[in-house]
Amino acid sequence: MVILINKEKNWTSFDVVKKTKNLIKEKFNIKKIKVGHAGTLDPLATGLLIICTGKLTKKISEIQNLHKTYSGEITLGGKTPSFDLETEIDQKFDLINITEDQVHSVSKEFLGEIFQKPPLFSAIKVKGERLYKKARRGEKVNVKTRKITIYNFEITEINIPKVKFIINCSKGTYIRSIANDFGLKLKNGGYLSELTREKIGNYSLNQSLTISEFEKNLMRDIS
């Protein structure tokens, strides 16, 4: 089974997998079932999370390789260690010289194949340990850059300091890093203040269910 979940804010991807697994085990009265997700969403992000169960967990790597589409918001004038609102703003910048033309111009610099440095606050493993654990201890780690592809980067609304966007990108793209780098290219600061995953390949958010909706559907089938 492939389940399309609309992940809500403050849920981790692991939380969704665990909840989905428990609901399925309860419904079908089974003790074991393989359940996994095809691409992590940060706790503060919302949107499409694809859950695969049973034999279809073999499709996870295939789904992870699909292009992804996100909508979101970058807030200029500040920086955070996590590149989003998981951590507090630790640097502030004057916004007086930033223009809308500059914002549109900078967005075009991201198009195509680029090298991106993932956030230190990420789930990437270095020597067997998640980077975010090292970051929370204040350890300094040299994070290697990765080659990614940005297929489309559209600025949909500008209301300085807020910049709304839609982006279509390859596997492995960190939108938080895009937000941080966006600020740097403006000789300013930027962090991700909102993020929603809209699509993974041809799988779309408007086809998905929240966890509570998924649970109600399962319970309805039982009764």
**Active-site residue 42, yes or no?**
yes
- Cross-strand partners of 123: none
The alpha carbon torsion through 205, 201, 215, 9 (nearest 10 deg) reads -50
Query: From the candidates 15, 42, 84, 221, which is the catalytic residue?
Result: 42
Percent of the chain topping pLDDT 70? 96
Q: 195 and 85 in one domain?
A: yes
Q: 76 and 56 in one domain?
A: no
Could you tell me the residue range of the domain that residue 118 belongs to?
68-200
Q: 212 and 115 in one domain?
A: no
Q: 217 and 188 in one domain?
A: no
Residue 11 has pLDDT above 90, yes or no: yes
Distance CA 9, CA 98 (A): 30
Structure tokens at 180: 């941080």
- What is the end-to-end Cα distance of the chain in Å, rounded? 21
CA atoms within 13 A on the CB side of 210: 7
Q: 161 and 101 in one domain?
A: yes
Domain count of the chain? Answer: 2
Residue 131 has pLDDT above 90, yes or no: no
> What CATH number is associated with residue 96?
3.30.2350.10
- pLDDT at residue 223, rounded to an integer: 45
Q: 171 and 86 in one domain?
A: yes
Q: 208 and 138 in one domain?
A: no
> What CATH number is associated with residue 47?
3.30.70
Question: pTM (2 decimals)?
Answer: 0.93
